[in-house]
Amino acid sequence: MWLRLHDRYLGGDRLVRHGELNPESTAFAIQIALFERFAAAARAAGARPVIVVFPDQESVVAARHGQRTVVGPLIASLAARRLEYVDLTAAFLNPELAGSVGDWFASGGHYSPAGNRIVAQWLGRELLARMAARHTDGAAAQDAPTPVLVRACPGGTVRQGGVAAAGVGGAR
């Protein structure tokens, strides 16, 4: 028991160190490898991979105070590898949002209905804007692959699945 506690909270290979994801940890390396494999598989299937990073409550609080978040090293690593990503932390930065950070999260770290609404609205606009920008670069709407989304949790859990872009070209 002590060894597991030591490894999780004190060991050099722990996923979170000094309040940020630890890029030197085995778990971080595995997560990045999974994202790279996901992106390659999505491209091979004709889809456009987009990695979506969902911040936890502590990250939202930190970002709203202008501080670094736990996912900073993950974002830096994705950018360095030229993997397209969306950091949903930005969805929570508008000072005119209704409610407070505590209203956007439920127990257990999940988003509340209000938090999910903020994320859904912001992410929908962001994906549509990216697709529109891509279309203005000469790609025809019917030739553009459907975005594929991945979820990256600050705790290291990875989930993946496909989502059609709603409202693009009248199709769903």
Domain assignment present for 20? yes
Range(s) of the domain holding residue 129: 12-162
Domain assignment present for 7? no
∠ CA 14-92-9, rounded to 5°:
15
Domain assignment present for 2? no
pLDDT mean over 86-90: 95
Q: Which residue has the tokens 């890029």?
A: 23
Domain assignment present for 155? yes
- Residue 47 — left, alpha, or beta (φ > 0 → left; ψ -120 to 50 → alpha)? beta
Structure tokens at 167: 């409202």
Percent of the chain with pLDDT over 90: 53
Task: Give the model's confidence band at 7: pLDDT under 50 very low, under 70 low, under 90 confident, else very high.
Answer: low
DSSP 143: G
Taking alpha carbons only, the member of 149, 164, 135 closest to residue 54 is: 149
pLDDT mean over 125-135: 87
Task: Give the model's confidence band at 166: pLDDT under 50 very low, under 70 low, under 90 confident, else very high.
Answer: very low
pLDDT of residue 21: 84
pLDDT tens for residues 35-50? 999 999 999 998 889 9
pLDDT mean over 88-98: 93
Domain assignment present for 122? yes
Lowest mean pLDDT among 15-19, 23-27, 32-36, 42-46: 15-19
In contact, 102 and 139? CB cutoff 8 Å: no
Domain assignment present for 4? no
pLDDT of residue 56: 92
pLDDT of residue 147: 57
Mean pLDDT rounded to a whole number for the chain: 79
Task: Give the model's confidence band at 13: pLDDT under 50 very low, under 70 low, under 90 confident, else very high.
Answer: confident
| pLDDT higher at 165 or 161 | 161
Determine the Cα–Cα distance for residues 48 and 165; give it in Å rounded to an integer. Answer: 11
CB atoms within 10 A of CB 152: 26
| Helix, strand, coil percent values for the chain (each to nearest 5) | 50, 15, 35
Domain assignment present for 119? yes
pLDDT tens for residues 63-75? 999 999 999 999 9
pTM higher than 0.75, yes or no? no
Statement: residue 162 has pLDDT above 60: no
Determine the Cα–Cα distance for residues 24 and 88; give it in Å rounded to an integer. Answer: 24
Domain assignment present for 170? no
Tally of structural domains, the chain: 1
